[in-house]
């Protein structure tokens, strides 16, 4: 096992000292949005001890067969296919979606051919990979996820009583659901200039009259988003996209083509190690509405939640059916729990310290600390008052196949 030191991303939407409050890290005095554990080049974990000071990415790339196992290395992997995060959501994130693998490859090649640098602000595809995600709530969490039916959206928009939104209502009147929803979102994203700002202000004022005040009220979120992003008609998104509440322990799956935005809360997130985000609004970052509309799936409904199983005493696994990752949590308590990872794994402690032991020794993970376990390390024993999050690859990536 390798003990890791992990980086915190101070994005503006993070809660003040959010990671300190969640996982026990030292407070920074500023916004703390995401704790990253893995090999992603934007914030790779640092190895503590031998080899001291190297990033986990450098260690794995130096000998992929040793650290990832012969199957993953044989398929050409030189880094972890997944990234583990803790999110502390103080303000809503951007309205966004992620591409499929085929869409990502096409977009990456297209932007390379156009000569757009990988670090350019207007770059949409920064790698040729899909970016499915899943989040397990640590606290009550609210998110926009998946389209409402066109009928429901029409009723919510009509409830604002604004004649200037009649083109939106007309779009939602179309009989085919995906066509109606695509037309409605296209209209919202396409309004520009002073008209966009005026409509946004009018929608927020109308929503204030309609809002009941509850966290599950879409009009309340129109008001909140409108105040945080003045002039952005994306504040109407809660009238088209479903509101999802996650109690602690509940999980959500965000597959390719799903329109979503985290609104508030906190959770442990697992995702494919990609940087491909298509944004449609509610952000100062680059917005590519044409490409967003191209990659979205407009069928109404929230994606099925991960399937929860209990493969071992004290363990809850969240199965999304994704190849790149699997996630489980172990309530270590005072009794020892044992499990045997098949592939390379990341372990992260929250809520208290956890001791992890393998054939080579043991490490004490205080809350917020993490470790990397190479493929083929054998049985692990876990004990302590905290919780241990276990991230690893999906079973499909561990199936032998020819190198790509």
* C-alpha neighbours within 13 Å on the C-beta side of residue 197: 3
Could you tell me the CA-to-CA distances from 212 to 145, 176, 221, 222, 247 in Å, in that order? 21, 31, 11, 12, 21
CB 232 within 8 A of CB 184: no
Token pair in block for residue 162: 């604004």
SS (H, E, C) 161-194: CCHHHHHHHHHHCCCCHHHHHHHHHHHHHHCCHH
279 is catalytic: yes
CA–centroid distance for 276 within its chain? 11
Q: Kindly tell me the sign of the dihedral angle through the C-alpha atoms of 48, 54, 55, 57.
A: negative
DSSP 14: B
Report the chain's C-alpha Rg in angstroms.
22
Token pair in block for residue 350: 């929250």
Between CA 264 and CA 18 the distance in angstroms is 12
Between CA 245 and CA 214 the distance in angstroms is 12
DSSP 55: B
Between CA 116 and CA 69 the distance in angstroms is 35
CA–centroid distance for 13 within its chain? 14
* Total residues belonging to the chain: 404
Q: Which of 279, 297, 369, 387 is catalytic?
A: 279
Token pair in block for residue 264: 């508030």
Task: Give 115: exposed, middle or buried? Use CB within 10 Å, 0-12, 13-18, 19+.
Answer: exposed
Q: Which residues are catalytic?
A: 279
């Amino acid at each position: 096992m390798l003990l890791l030191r992990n980086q915190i991303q101070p994005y503006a939407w993070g809660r003040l000292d959010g990671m300190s409050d969640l996982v026990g890290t030292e407070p920074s005095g500023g916004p703390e949005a995401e704790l990253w554990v893995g090999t992603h080049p934007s914030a790779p974990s640092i190895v503590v001890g031998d080899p001291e000071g190297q990033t986990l990415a450098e260690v794995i790339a130096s000998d992929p067969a040793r650290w990832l196992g012969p199957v993953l290395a044989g398929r050409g992997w030189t880094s972890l296919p997944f990234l583990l995060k803790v999110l502390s959501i103080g303000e809503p994130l951007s309205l966004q979606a992620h591409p499929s693998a085929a869409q990502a490859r096409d977009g990456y090649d297209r932007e390379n051919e156009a000569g757009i640098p990988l670090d350019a602000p207007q770059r949409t595809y920064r790698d040729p990979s899909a970016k499915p995600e899943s989040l397990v709530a640590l606290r009550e969490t609210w998110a926009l996820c998946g389209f409402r039916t066109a009928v429901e959206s029409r009723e919510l928009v009509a409830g604002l009583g604004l004649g200037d939104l009649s083109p939106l209502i007309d779009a939602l009147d179309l009989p085919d659901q995906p066509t109606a929803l695509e037309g409605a979102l296209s209209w919202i994203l396409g309004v520009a200039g002073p008209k966009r700002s005026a409509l946004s202000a009018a929608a927020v004022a109308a929503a204030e009259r309609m809002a009941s005040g509850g966290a599950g009220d879409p009009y309340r979120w129109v008001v909140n988003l409108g105040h945080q992003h003045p002039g952005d008609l994306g504040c109407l998104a809660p009238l088209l996209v479903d509101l999802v509440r996650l109690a602690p322990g509940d999980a959500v799956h965000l597959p390719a083509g799903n329109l979503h935005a985290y609104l508030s809360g906190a959770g442990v997130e697992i995702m494919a190690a990609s940087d491909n985000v298509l944004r449609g609004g509610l952000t100062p970052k680059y917005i590519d509405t044409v490409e967003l509309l191209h990659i979205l799936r407009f069928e109404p409904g929230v994606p099925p939640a991960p399937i929860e199983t209990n493969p071992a005493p004290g363990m809850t696994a969240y199965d999304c059916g994704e190849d790149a990752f699997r996630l489980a949590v172990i309530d270590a308590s005072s009794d020892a729990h044992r499990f045997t990872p098949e592939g390379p794994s990341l372990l992260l402690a929250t809520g208290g310290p956890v001791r992890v032991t393998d054939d080579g020794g043991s490490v004490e993970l205080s809350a917020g600390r993490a470790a990397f376990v190479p493929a083929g390390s054998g049985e692990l024993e876990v004990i302590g008052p905290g919780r241990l999050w276990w991230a690893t690859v999906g079973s499909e990536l561990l199936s032998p196949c020819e190198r790509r």
